[in-house]
Amino acid sequence: MIKESFTLRGVEFKNRVLVASGTFGYGNEVKELVDVNKLGGICTKSLSWKPRDGNPPRRIVETPSGMLNSIGLANVGVEYFIREKLPYLRTLDTVIIANIAASSIQEYCDVLSLLEQQEGIDGYEINVSCPNVKEGGLSFGTDCSKTREITARLRTLTAKPLIMKLTPNVTHISEFARAVEEAGADAISVINTVIGMAVDIYKKKPKLSTVTGGLSGPAIKPIALAKVYEAAQVVSLPIIGIGGIMTAEDALEFLLVGATAVQVGTANFIDPSAGVKVAEGMRSYAQRFGVSDLGQLVGAMESNKEFSVLQSWL
Amino acid sequence: MILQHVAPVVSNTLIAEGIFLLTVEAKDIARSVRPGQFVNVRSTDGSLPFLRRPFSVSNTRGDLIDLMFNVVGQGTRMMASRRIGDTLDVLGPLGKPFGFAGNFKTAIMVGGGLGVAPFPILTRQLEEEKKSLLTLLGARSAKHIVAKDLQNTQIATDDGSAGFHGTVVALLESSLQSKALADPKIFGCGPTPMLKALSEFAQRSGIECELSLEGDMACGVGLCQGCPVETSHGSRKYALVCVEGPTFNCHDIILR
Ligand SMILES: Cc1cc2nc3c(=O)[nH]c(=O)nc-3n(C[C@H](O)[C@H](O)[C@H](O)COP(=O)(O)OP(=O)(O)OC[C@H]3O[C@@H](n4cnc5c(N)ncnc54)[C@H](O)[C@@H]3O)c2cc1C
Ligand SMILES: Cc1cc2nc3c(=O)[nH]c(=O)nc-3n(C[C@H](O)[C@H](O)[C@H](O)COP(=O)(O)O)c2cc1C
Ligand code: FES
């Protein structure tokens, strides 16, 4: 028997693979196709206080080994979520993480407080890193003191796992990791999408309605790995690695550089069972190489820190 | 119920300039798909192109489904090179089928380019429901016309090389002027500018009209919110083409 599980503030995840916010809807869209109970957890689409229409089309552009999106946090709003989506999520035998996005600190607090009163939510992931909205999103996530303040405020409101989702669009993600650890976060999710753009040379216009968008998929995996590695050098809280994971091999790279768990995002669009397959593949790897607990792989990469350029500014 | 099939390719033939008819065996999809629904196809075994590509189910025969596609880019090029014995990873059936509401007697199918793709399966169902049929197809030229398994077909070409010289919507206007049809309902499919013109014509003439939209999709199953179309009423600004469409009543959406 291989130990695949891990715990975060008393919540047990049956394995180390979650599905990423915004890439798995509210969990019920593909229930016929995927045995979601085989996932370690589900992060909901970002929830805001009021429903959000999202950005005008075009919202999606395929790019080399990935895609740009500019969804703009289109979501049903927290009240509708509680009424229409949560009852289904409650029936599942997997960890449910409510992802929250907001345009003010008060809104983060209001959404979380309302969710606190509900049954069926195991923890929170706080999106301070959406690149596709004018207010909130990145303007919080690139401001270290605001990120710290949001974390500290939310910490006073919940005893459940509080996960801060960080953006790679900063110079030193390690500073943000340190700030949220000090402010009481239980874990960090690294990374949200990377700002990118694409241009239609015939129309001489940006392909996305919002000019820039968020890049995801295998194209960002090397960036994500470096960010997880960087954060892992300075904090001791668990890191959830995200970015371009398509296979178990990808996920194992994240564990080795220091991630306790991973999230599978864009891969769900190509194969909604991608997360389940990644978890199965990690189990096979453990079997094959005699790893009795996947936790043994976390941060187990051997590296010569002497040559690491990172060290000079950590 | 949505299914994922690694479907064996049964045939793949060039049927008009740059247009292929690809037949795969996908039993459960073939048995449950309704006219207007689509499948999301993984055109590669590797990693490029990265995302799946949506295609209308053109027809079914027993356990087989036909896809009719235009070679426009990398994905469709790879689909064109599939041979008998290869497989194709398809997810479906997806989306909302064409609506048959209303007491119409005559169905007018209006297709622009590969908008003709869903018409064979739609024709079959309309025949079962004993409707009169009129099919209007618009294409760039005579070489781009596919009129297989359709009824009572008229053609419009941009260059005048076959049939009416002009757009398919202009052809519709002129044929309705010359001969009024009993209780008509329009079923339209094609590129957005054509659907916009068709929708305007239908609303002006007070004819019921269902449209099947094309557009960018990442997932095709409602996971990503990537496929909005503007709604004309109600509390939400956008509907999702992949799950609330691709077919819509023309009164419910605004095309730009
Ligand atoms: C619900 C639905 C059903 C569809 N059914 C069919 C069908 O039955 N037969 C068929 O041939 N096509 C259909 N399409 C369009 C088809 O999905 C695209 O042509 C295909 O994705 C192109 O893939 P590609 O990799 O070959 O081209 P890409 O490399 O993705 O694009 C090549 C060129 O085609 C253009 N293009 C790409 N997608 C579209 C699109 N959706 N509409 C207009 N131009 C586009 C691009 O802008 C680019 O210039 C459908 C689309 C939708 C949303
Ligand atoms: C279409 C799309 C929508 C997303 N929506 C959200 C969101 O609502 N909230 C959030 O925190 N992250 C969102 N993300 C970011 C993902 O959760 C993830 O961090 C990112 O895509 C990188 O992982 P990947 O390469 O595996 O997709 C979204 C990503 C995509 C592609
Ligand atoms: S294509 Fe993903 S929601 Fe429609």
List, for residues B38-67, the tens digit of each pLDDT value: 999 999 888 889 999 999 999 999 999 999
Is A152 within the bounds of a domain? yes
Ligand 3 near B224 CB (within 6 A): yes
> In sequence order, what are the residues at sequence separation of 6 or more whose Cβ sits closer than 8 angstroms to the Cβ of residue B140?
B113, B157, B158, B159
Res. A217: pLDDT tops 90: yes
Residues of A in contact with B255 (CB under 8 A): none
Ligand 3 near B222 CB (within 6 A): yes
Cα of A193 to ligand 2 centre, how many Å?
A: 6
Cα of A63 to ligand 2 centre, how many Å?
A: 15
Catalytic residue among A43, A109, A130, A144: A130
* Separation between Cα atoms, residue A294 and residue A287, nearest integer Å: 10
What is the per-residue pLDDT for A84? 96
Residues A230-268 as b or e (16 or more Cβ within 10 Å = b)? bbbbebebbbbbbbbbbbbebbbbbbbbbbbbbbbbbbb
Number of Cβ atoms within 10 Å of the Cβ of A62? 21
* Separation between Cα atoms, residue A283 and residue A38, nearest integer Å: 12
Query: Mean pLDDT throughout B116-126?
Result: 97
Q: How many domains are there within chain A?
A: 1
Residues of B in contact with A57 (CB under 8 A): 215-216, 227-229
Which has the minimum average pLDDT: A108-122, A130-144, A188-202, B21-35? A130-144
Res. A131: pLDDT tops 90: no
CATH number of the domain encompassing residue A245 = 3.20.20.70
Residue ranges per structural domain of chain B: 3-94, 106-212
Is A131 within the bounds of a domain? yes
Coil, helix or strand at residue A59: coil
In whole numbers, what is the pLDDT of chain A averaged over residues?
Answer: 95
What is the per-residue pLDDT for A30? 94
Res. B181: pLDDT tops 90: no
What is the per-residue pLDDT for A137? 75
Query: Mean pLDDT throughout B26-31?
Result: 96
> In sequence order, what are the residues at sequence separation of 6 or more whose Cβ sits closer than 8 angstroms to the Cβ of residue A146?
A105, A128, A139, A140
Instruction: Please report which ligand is nearest the Cα atom of B52.
Output: 1
Q: What is the pLDDT of residues A237-249, one digit of tens each?
A: 999 999 999 999 9
What is the per-residue pLDDT for B253? 97
With CB atoms and an 8 Å threshold, state whether A269 touches B223.
Answer: yes
Closest Cα partner for A157 from A130, A128, A121? A121
* Separation between Cα atoms, residue A94 and residue A41, nearest integer Å: 5
Closest Cα partner for A104 from A58, A57, A154, A56? A154
Atom of ligand 3 nearest to the CA of A269: 2
What is the per-residue pLDDT for A114? 98
Is A295 within the bounds of a domain? yes
Query: Mean pLDDT throughout A205-212?
Result: 97
The CATH architecture that domain B106-212 belongs to is 3-Layer(aba) Sandwich (3.40)
Active site residue A109: no
Tokens of B245: 């469409």
3-state SS string for chain B: CCEEEEEEEEEEEEEECCEEEEEEECHHHHHHCCCCCEEEEECCCCCCCCCCEEEECCEEECCEEEEEEECCCHHHHHHHCCCCCCEEEEEEEECECCCCCCCCCEEEEEEEHHHHCCHHHHHHHHHHCCCEEEEEEEECCHHHCCCCCCCCEEEEECCCCCCEECCHHHHHHHHHHHCCCCCEEEEEECCHHHHHHHHHHHHHHCCEEEEECCCCCCCCCCCCCCCEEEECCCCCCEEEHHHHCEEEEHHHEECC
Closest Cα partner for B7 from B24, B21, B22? B24
* Separation between Cα atoms, residue A154 and residue A124, nearest integer Å: 10
CATH class of B3-94: mainly beta
Query: Mean pLDDT throughout A259-272?
Result: 98
Ligand 2 near A45 CB (within 6 A): yes
What is the per-residue pLDDT for B179? 84
The residue that leads in pLDDT, B239 or B177, is B239
- Start-to-end C-alpha separation, chain B: 32
| DSSP H or E stretch at residue A253 | helix A248-257
Is A123 within the bounds of a domain? yes
Res. B182: pLDDT tops 90: no
Closest Cα partner for B216 from B96, B59, B40? B40
CB-based contact (8 Å) between A71 and chain B? yes
> In sequence order, what are the residues at sequence separation of 6 or more whose Cβ sits closer than 8 angstroms to the Cβ of residue B235?
none
* Strand positions, DSSP E, A207-299: 212-216, 239-242, 261-264
Beta carbons of B87 and B10 less than 8 angstroms apart = no
Ligand 1 near B20 CB (within 6 A): no
Q: DSSP class of residue A110?
A: H
Q: What are the backbone dihedrals phi and psi of residue A253, each rounded to the nearest 5 degrees, phi first?
A: -55, -45
Q: What is the pLDDT of residues A38-75, one digit of tens each?
A: 999 999 999 999 999 999 999 999 999 999 999 999 99
Res. B78: pLDDT tops 80: yes
Give the one of B52, B216, B243 whose C-beta lies nearest to A58's C-beta. B216
With CB atoms and an 8 Å threshold, state whether A60 touches B226.
Answer: yes
Beta carbons of A163 and A188 less than 8 angstroms apart = yes
In whole numbers, what is the pLDDT of chain B averaged over residues?
Answer: 95
Query: Mean pLDDT throughout A153-165?
Result: 98
Query: Mean pLDDT throughout A263-275?
Result: 97
Query: Mean pLDDT throughout B171-181?
Result: 90
What is the per-residue pLDDT for A133? 78
Is A66 within the bounds of a domain? yes
Q: Which domain holds residue A159?
A: 6-313
Query: Count of A–B CB contacts within 8 Å?
Result: 97
Beta carbons of B137 and B168 less than 8 angstroms apart = yes
What is the per-residue pLDDT for B233? 93
Cα of A115 to ligand 2 centre, how many Å?
A: 21
Res. B244: pLDDT tops 80: yes
With CB atoms and an 8 Å threshold, state whether B50 touches A270.
Answer: yes
Query: Mean pLDDT throughout B114-125?
Result: 97
What is the per-residue pLDDT for A305? 77
Coil, helix or strand at residue A146: helix
> In sequence order, what are the residues at sequence separation of 6 or more whose Cβ sits closer than 8 angstroms to the Cβ of residue A247?
A277, A278, A281
Residues of B in contact with A71 (CB under 8 A): 224-226
What is the per-residue pLDDT for B178? 86
**Chain A, nearest residue to B222 by Cα:** A29
